[in-house]
């Protein structure tokens, strides 16, 4: 006599498997199935979008390399100034060398980005990084051996081949994510920028003053090369190379002039705010507090960037309005002569900058022609750096001739300029280029 088969019963979405019944002459009965209780629903955590972001295969690996390679971006400038000033006794020479390096980066950076878009990140970024690291090492040798001053300019200019690691990371997110999920990734990248530019100078100053003057430059070179090797090792996440000459297709400059103008004015906000704050605190006898106060501003921007990534994106015009209002607060606080009030105002100013940068970079990404994303991002960064340089120089003149309190009007005016440019110089619209959320 064959054995009885298992009994199957379905209740709702639960499949109940009963054990085979033993042979009996009585009529078999089936026990009522038991309903499995549903687990309680959990409300999504505010940081859930970031958890989903780093569930993507390879995302944690290339982000680790990205952060390691990005940290030196906030180290090299101050390390070079402290190293040259300590060995040569001239801040004027140190400032001229770093200014030359920034100018060289503005020229070489977009060309490096074009090659990366054309040939791929790993193929171009690694040798370009090696050249930049050799330039940093050559600078150390020239400073130590008291080589002629022109060798310092040439060595630091060689570091202009440093790839825009932030642009390459954004290009990877753009490749991996659908358009509606990129807002969180761009917010994370902006927060990473703020974090690295907050910690980089602190680490560089610590190494240069407590170890030896060249320690900051050497540590930055090691971090840059190590991070770039880790970043480029994750090739499965990198966008495909276009393989076309960079002269083909529409140039990003044709689609980005309005946004580049806004980013330039935003850079003026950053540069003028930093110089004015340092000068104001020094004039008030609080020079030692300049580092923590500026770090507080960067921390506010970092946290705001992370929080903004969990929220619905706003229009760039709305973000610039908030920035214009926030930049008036340090001006008012400086007139009041209160350090806690100024620190709070700078914190709020920092919070207002992150949404502007995230939204503007998102628009740059959407407006850049296909296959030219890294070039477009590098042009955006170049515009910001040019604005920072112009803002720093203008703020120095304002401090010397008008005083530190009046100089705080410069970042407020630059924020209004950015808002005005956005309002009267709308970008050229292209089908599918710019999402309505960024308008």
Domains and CATH numbers, the chain: 61-248 (1.20.1250.20), 250-439 (1.20.1250.20)
Dihedral, CA of residue 104, residue 107, residue 111 and residue 113, to nearest 10: 80
pLDDT tens figures, 191-227 = 888 788 777 877 887 888 888 889 989 999 999 999 9
Q: Is the dihedral of CA 379, 380, 385, 386 positive or negative?
A: positive
Beta strands 7-11 and 14-18 are antiparallel
Q: Is the dihedral of CA 155, 156, 159, 161 positive or negative?
A: negative
> Residue 45: pLDDT band by 50, 70, 90 thresholds?
low
Which residue do the tokens 């001053």 mark? 149
Confidence at residue 128, expressed as pLDDT on a 0 to 100 scale: 94
> Residue 391: pLDDT band by 50, 70, 90 thresholds?
confident
Kindly state the average pLDDT of the residues 391-395. Answer: 80
Which two three-digit tokens encode residue 331? Answer: 């001006």
Asked if residue 141 has pLDDT above 70, the reply is yes
Kindly state the average pLDDT of the residues 402-428. Answer: 84
- What's the number of CA atoms in the CB half-sphere (13 Å) around residue 338? 8
SS3 track for 109-167: HHHHHHHHHHHCHHHHHHHHHHHHHHHHHHHHHHHHCCCCHHHHHHHHHHHHHCCCHHH
22 compared with 265, residue with greater pLDDT = 265
Strand partners, 15: 10
Q: Is the dihedral of CA 312, 182, 66, 263 positive or negative?
A: negative
DSSP run (H or E) holding 78: helix 76-88
The number of residues making up the chain comes to: 439
Which residue do the tokens 């700078």 mark? 346
Which two three-digit tokens encode residue 104? Answer: 């060289």
DSSP run (H or E) holding 373: helix 373-402
Confidence at residue 120, expressed as pLDDT on a 0 to 100 scale: 87
Confidence at residue 8, expressed as pLDDT on a 0 to 100 scale: 40
Is residue 404 within 8 Å of residue 279, measured between CB atoms?
Answer: yes
According to the per-residue pLDDT averaged within each range, which of 74-78, 320-324, 334-338 is highest? 320-324
Contacts of 322 (CB under 8 A, 6+ apart): 352, 355, 356
Asked if residue 301 has pLDDT above 80, the reply is yes
Confidence at residue 139, expressed as pLDDT on a 0 to 100 scale: 94
- What's the number of CA atoms in the CB half-sphere (13 Å) around residue 161? 19
Question: 295-310 burial, b for 16+ CB within 10 Å, e for fewer?
Answer: bbbbbbbbbbbbbbbb
* Distance from C-alpha of 219 to C-alpha of 75, rounded to nearest angstrom: 9
pLDDT tens figures, 1-17 = 444 444 444 444 334 44
Pick from 234, 223, 207, 413: which is nearest to 323 by CA?
413
> Residue 138: pLDDT band by 50, 70, 90 thresholds?
very high
According to the per-residue pLDDT averaged within each range, which of 154-163, 374-383, 400-409 is highest? 154-163
CA distances from 201 to 67, 94, 196, 294, 298 (A): 15, 16, 9, 11, 12
Confidence at residue 277, expressed as pLDDT on a 0 to 100 scale: 83
Which of 18-32, 241-255, 261-275, 400-414 is predicted least confidently?
Answer: 18-32
324 compared with 372, residue with greater pLDDT = 324
Asked if residue 360 has pLDDT above 60, the reply is yes
Asked if residue 351 has pLDDT above 50, the reply is yes
Contacts of 169 (CB under 8 A, 6+ apart): 62, 63, 66, 189, 192, 231
């Amino acid at each position: 006599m064959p054995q009885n088969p298992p009994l199957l019963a379905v209740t709702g979405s639960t499949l109940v498997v009963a054990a085979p019944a033993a042979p009996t002459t009585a009529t078999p009965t089936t026990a009522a199935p038991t309903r499995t209780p549903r687990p309680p629903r959990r409300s999504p955590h505010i940081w859930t979008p970031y958890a989903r972001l780093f569930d993507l295969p390879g995302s944690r690996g290339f982000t680790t390399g990205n952060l390691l390679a990005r940290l030196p971006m906030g180290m090299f400038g101050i390390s070079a100034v402290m190293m040259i000033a300590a060995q040569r006794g001239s801040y004027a020479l140190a400032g001229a060398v770093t200014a030359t390096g920034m100018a060289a980066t503005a020229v070489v950076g977009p060309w490096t980005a074009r090659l990366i878009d054309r040939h791929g990140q790993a193929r171009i970024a690694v040798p370009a990084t090696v050249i930049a690291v050799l330039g940093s090492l050559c600078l150390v040798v020239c400073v130590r051996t008291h080589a002629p001053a022109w060798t310092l300019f040439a060595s630091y200019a060689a570091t202009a081949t440093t790839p825009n690691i932030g642009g390459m990371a954004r290009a990877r997110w753009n490749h991996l994510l659908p358009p509606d999920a990129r807002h969180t990734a761009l917010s994370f990248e902006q927060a990473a920028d703020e974090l690295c530019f907050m910690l980089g100078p602190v680490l560089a100053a610590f190494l240069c003053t407590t170890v030896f003057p060249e320690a900051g430059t050497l540590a930055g070179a090691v971090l840059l090369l190590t991070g770039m090797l880790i970043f480029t090792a994750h090739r499965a996440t990198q966008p495909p190379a276009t393989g076309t000459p960079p002269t083909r297709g529409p140039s990003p400059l044709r689609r980005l002039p309005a946004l580049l103008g806004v980013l330039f004015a935003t850079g003026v906000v950053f540069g003028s705010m930093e110089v004015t704050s340092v000068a104001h605190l020094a004039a008030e006898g609080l020079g030692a507090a300049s580092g923590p106060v500026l770090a507080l501003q960067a921390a506010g921007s970092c946290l705001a960037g992370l929080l903004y990534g969990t929220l619905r994106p706003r229009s760039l015009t709305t973000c610039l309005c908030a920035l214009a209002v926030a930049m008036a607060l340090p001006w008012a606080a400086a007139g009041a002569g209160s350090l806690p009030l100024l620190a709070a105002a700078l914190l709020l100013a920092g919070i207002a900058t992150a949404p502007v940068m995230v939204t503007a970079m998102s628009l740059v990404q959407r407006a850049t022609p296909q296959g030219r994303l890294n070039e477009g991002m590098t042009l955006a960064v170049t515009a910001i750096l040019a604005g920072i340089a112009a803002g720093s120089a203008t703020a120095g003149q304002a401090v010397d001739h008008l005083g530190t309190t009046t100089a705080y009007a410069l970042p407020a005016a630059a924020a209004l300029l950015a808002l005005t440019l956005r309002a009267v110089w709308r970008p050229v619209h292209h089908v599918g280029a710019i999402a309505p959320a960024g308008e």
